[in-house]
Structure 1
Amino acid sequence: MIFGYLLASAVALGIIWLAFGIWKIGAVSRGKPIGERGKQALLLIDLQSVFWDHGPYSDAAKHSTKDAILREIDAAKAQGHHIVAVRQEWSIPSTKAIARLAMKGQAIEGSKGTELAEPFAGLADHVLVKRVQDAFETGALDALLASLGVGQLRIAGLDLNYCVLKTALAARNRGYDVTVVEGGTLSAAPSERAERQMATHGVALR
């Protein structure tokens, strides 16, 4: 009887632990209001080999999106805007477990394919690592953008329904002027709901 109780307790704790990981993956952080900042940056989300080369996106979609992103990079460089790339690495124990169970183990910290994909390698001025969908979660992006005086963000990358969406919402929570580059994003599923969420929170999509 005691063994059964202990087993049931362990199972319940395991479920709670995984549920926390699921919540953590999709949560949107608040952060401190940024105040007045005049500079702009291009933020590239999850353009890494494991997602770009082996993700659920068609070659045709990747071709047009790659061209749009490279145009954004060229324009940012020409205007003297900083380019920041953020790579996904699951490193929190509960999120690593979920990645193994539900994401084929992709992008776990230390695994292959977490580097930027070949079309985008070496093009960013700064490269950061994120642990969940929201690129602001660790605080490193907050600190970098503050040091650069950035108050306006143009966001491109993967996936519009998840990491692009959550990062854009977290940026708006802090007071950034946010534009998601519509032609510079990909989504594995219909994105109407994400687009409505962004519009509701003042994120421009164009």
Structure 2
Amino acid sequence: MTLGIVLGIVALVLTLWLGNGVRRIGSVSVGETIRNRDASALLLIDLQSVFWERGPYSDAAKEGAAAVIYKEVEAARAQNHPVIAVRQEWSIPSTKAVARLTMKGQAIEGSDGTDLAEPFSSLPDQIVVKRVQDAFETGELDALLERLDVGKLRLVGLDFNYCVQKTALAARNRGYDVTVVRDGTLSAAPTEGAEKRMSSAGVAIR
């Protein structure tokens, strides 16, 4: 086998491996359909230092979203609804490689900035770590919501086009009643496509 063939095989394997990482990052999981549940919860998506402080969002956009997030937390507290923060940590080898190549290495497991940003650090009752855009992928969020008897979710955070969307769609796949609080989210790009996909899946956007 010539060196050229060996290098070609290595390049193909590496391309397939990275491609699998990209696929895993954007996939939406399908879990067991939930039974009837009465409780509600507020999910805070990816409100981490690395994204909030270093992301592509203007100060004005962050100020407006933060005000809405605080109101949502206050309303949840008043109704005894749990507030659950979801933090991104790329920990799968292929997704870590993709993050290094295309995301400036941000939010890789063990790296600086994966903790909640200071304005939100005291807000959650529970914190769940996710490995991809879909917060349900590991099963940890499924188990927590089952223990809390939660069947209704309100989502705020970032980014609307990615982790907010994928988490909302995964929740709908399981039968949750899902509302995305539009003014409590941030997005780095136009959101029309994400809005259509979520609306078609039964996600309320308000």
- With the shorter chain as reference, the TM-score category is over 0.9
CA distance in 2, matches of 1:198, 1:89: 24
- The Cα shift of 1:35 comes to 1.4
1:48-63 equivalence runs, <5 A: 48-63=48-63
In the alignment, does 2:101 pair up with 1:101? yes
CA distance, structure 2, for counterparts of residue 160 and residue 5 of structure 1: 43
- Aligned-partner SS, 1:143: helix
Q: For 1:51-100, what per-residue CA distance to the aligned partner results, in whole angstroms no more than 9, with x for missing partners? A: 00010000000000000000000110011000000000000000000100
Match of 2:170 in 1: 170
Q: Deviations over 1:83-130 (max 9, x none)?
A: 000000000000000100000000000000000001100210000100
TM-score (norm 1): 0.99
Name 2:46's counterpart in structure 1: 46
Instruction: Kindly indicate whether residue 156 of structure 2 is the aligned counterpart of residue 153 of structure 1.
Output: no
Q: Tell me the secondary structure at the aligned position of residue 162 of structure 1.
A: helix
Supply the AA of the counterpart residue of 1:165. Answer: Q
- Distance (Å, rounded) in 2 between the aligned partners of 1:194 and 1:13: 32
1:187 and 1:198 map into 2 onto residues whose CA distance is 15
Residue 2 of structure 1 deviates from its aligned partner by 2.4
In the alignment of these two chains, the number of paired residues is 206
* Amino acid of the structure 2 residue aligned with 1:122: S
AA aligned to 2:148 is L
SS in 2 for 1:161: helix
Q: Give the equivalent residue in structure 1 for 2:183.
A: 183
Partner in structure 2 of residue 15 of structure 1: 15
Counterpart residue type for residue 87 of structure 2: R
What is the identity, as a one-letter code, of the residue corresponding to 1:50? V
Equivalent in the alignment of 1:197 = 197
Report the AA paired with residue 138 of structure 2: T
Secondary structure, aligned partner of 2:135: coil
Task: Output aligned runs, 1:5-154, within 5 Å.
Answer: 5-154=5-154
Sequence identity percentage: 65
What is the rounded CA distance, in whole Å, between the counterparts of 1:128 and 1:175 in structure 2?
20
Task: Give me the TM-score of the superposition, normalised by structure 2.
Answer: 0.99
Deviation at 1:4, TM superposition (A): 1.7
CA distance in structure 1 between the partners assigned to 2:123 and 2:183 by the alignment: 19
* Shift >6 Å, 4+ stretches: none
How well do the aligned residues superpose, as a CA RMSD in angstroms?
A: 0.6
CA separation in 1, counterparts of 2:179 and 2:18? 33
Q: Which runs of 5+ in 2 are unaligned?
A: none
C-alpha separation between the residues in 2 aligned to 1:23 and 1:130?
A: 16
Secondary structure of the structure 1 residue equivalent to 2:128 = strand
